[in-house]
Copies of this chain bind each other. A is one copy, B any other.
Amino acid sequence: MAEQKKMVEAITPMEEDFAKWYTDIVKKAELMDYTSVRGCMVIQPYGWAIWENIQRILDARFKELGHENVSMPMFIPESLLNKEKDHVQGFAPEVAWVTMGGSEKLPERLCVRPTSETLFCDYYAKVIHSWRDLPMLYNQWCSVVRWEKTTRPFLRSVEFHWQEGHTMHETAEEAKAETEQMLNVYADFCENELAIPVIKGRKTDKEKFAGAEATYTIEAMMHDGKALQSGTSHYFGDGFARAFDITFAGRDNSLCHPFQTSWGMSTRIIGGIIMTHGDDNGLVLPPAVAPVQVIILPIAQHKPGVLDKAYELRDLLKKRFRVRVDDSDQTPGWKFAQYEMKGVPLRLEIGPKDMEKNQCVLVRRSDREKIFVPLDELEQAVEAQLEEVRRGIYEKALARRESMTYTALNMEELKDLADNRPGFIKAMWCGDPACEEKLKEAAGVSSRCMPFEQEHLSGTCVCCGKPAQSMVYWGKAY
């Protein structure tokens, strides 16, 4: 077990330095590497395969709900970005500008898209004529660029990958229903596929998307008690439609503006997976998106029949699961540590003694539980154990979130919690941005969301004591 020990020691323990633990994992699990471009990363095969699995599942759900994929340009002319004033104020400070094409200075600067509302609106203005053209339900998978000063792998990078849905509707009600529907798609995906419990809610005006009327969010709690905004869905009303002069002939032939939404989930969620499920032995991947769901390790593989049996089990399982055999000449100890680091949900050990008993051993990555499985029940056992991994890591994350969620009834309590207890703080708020600002200054917390599931903690704002409008989750965030 010397090798295993060595590999495990190579990660900084979470308790010692959470930030270092995180970067150790992204590097040692071979998810990404740094590049010569500040804030831009190579997403390595193992990391990209996780993203491909996320894409496949989400893309199928979007399409089931009638969305179609398109591709918009990566450049936005400056004049186009400037059309909606809240939007440009929010994004202009953090865009990359293309000013030269070849050796010629461009007559107008182009920004590399930080998000594509303006491009979609430019297109909608051309193609929407009648109520019969609505709804338009588009999505695109692409990368976008935001000139961030401080960057961290997956969590905040200059270039990142995402999907951005953009839809146009005949009525405000339909657009609002779409906004909510897509938030639910994200929440369901996080909880049931990624095993990440999330809180659904609405952002305060201060925290909403530049140009949106309302922003809805799902917020997840990381191991260190910080929040990760894991997906957002925006309702725009007809603000962009008016700015971009998008009109259609309504059912009564009157000229109308359509109502708009957009919604996105990004590679940031890979950071969320790491910081929700990972431990001091490395990554722990939810089975739905794990590039390898079952790693088969032949024990005493030089003994007759062992390797053949391993390949036979792989061929049996590969019809339904993503499975691999490691038949390299590394020691079992090295392999155990390696696949724990990579977060493979199930390890399957098969050796001569197991073969005698016509069984194998399954070990769950999440809790190292060993299960002896008769070979003729293997398929069902793998399916059941993958589900058990998912359930187990979800329950664990949920219990942690609950144990790290506190209630504050006044400023003193809130400051004390913010200073001493990592996690979420539930507190009442009057709705005044000035109080929000004060909480930030005095306690270093920001509003995460006004959850859909409201609780009545008291009748007054935690900050100013005036009548409360809603309960808010407060916390520190990535």
A contacts, CB < 8 Å to B: 33, 35-37, 40-45, 48-49, 51-52, 68-77, 80, 92-103, 109-110, 112, 119, 122-123, 126-127, 138, 142-143, 145, 147, 159, 161
Contacts and interface: CB of A to CB of B under 8 A. Distances in A.
A331 to B, nearest CB: 17
A48 B71 contact: yes
B161 A71 contact: yes
Nearest to A145: B74
A102 B110 contact: no
7 contacts: A52-B69, A74-B159, A95-B102, A97-B101, A98-B112, A99-B99, A112-B112
A75 B45 contact: no
Nearest to A79: B36
A96 B112 CA distance: 11
A77 B37 contact: yes
A112 B73 CA distance: 13
Nearest to A41: B73
Given A42-B70, A70-B44, A99 B102 contact: no
A142 B93 CA distance: 26
A73 B159 contact: yes
Interface centre among A44, A71, A75, A95 (most CB of B within 10 A): A71
B127 A33 contact: yes
Contacts of A99: 97-100
A70 B52 CA distance: 10
A161 B43 CA distance: 19
Contacts of A142: 143
A161 to B, nearest CB: 7
A120 to B, nearest CB: 9
B98 A36 contact: no
Given A42-B70, A75-B40, A112-B112, A94 B98 contact: no
Contact of A37 (B35, B43, B71, B110): B110
Nearest to A32: B71
A98 B96 contact: yes
A42 B71 contact: yes
Contacts of A72: 35, 42
Nearest to A68: B45
A108 to B, nearest CB: 10
A6 to B, nearest CB: 19
Nearest to A291: B68
A98 B97 contact: yes
A138 B103 CA distance: 32
A129 to B, nearest CB: 14
Contacts of A123: 33, 35, 42
Contacts of A92: 102
A122 B35 contact: yes
Contact of A73 (B40, B45, B147): B40
A101 B110 contact: no
A113 to B, nearest CB: 10
Given A37-B73, A51-B71, A97-B101, 8 more contacts: A40-B74, A42-B70, A45-B68, A49-B69, A74-B112, A93-B102, A99-B100, A142-B143
A70 to B, nearest CB: 5
A122 B36 CA distance: 8
Contacts of A80: 36
Nearest to A44: B70
A49 B76 CA distance: 24
B97 A71 contact: no
B102 A143 contact: no
Nearest to A103: B93
A40 B71 CA distance: 10
Given A42-B123, A43-B71, A119-B35, A147 B102 contact: yes
A43 B42 CA distance: 27
A123 to B, nearest CB: 5
A71 B46 CA distance: 11
Nearest to A122: B36
A135 to B, nearest CB: 13
Contacts of A42: 70-73, 119, 123
A94 B70 CA distance: 26
A112 B112 CA distance: 9
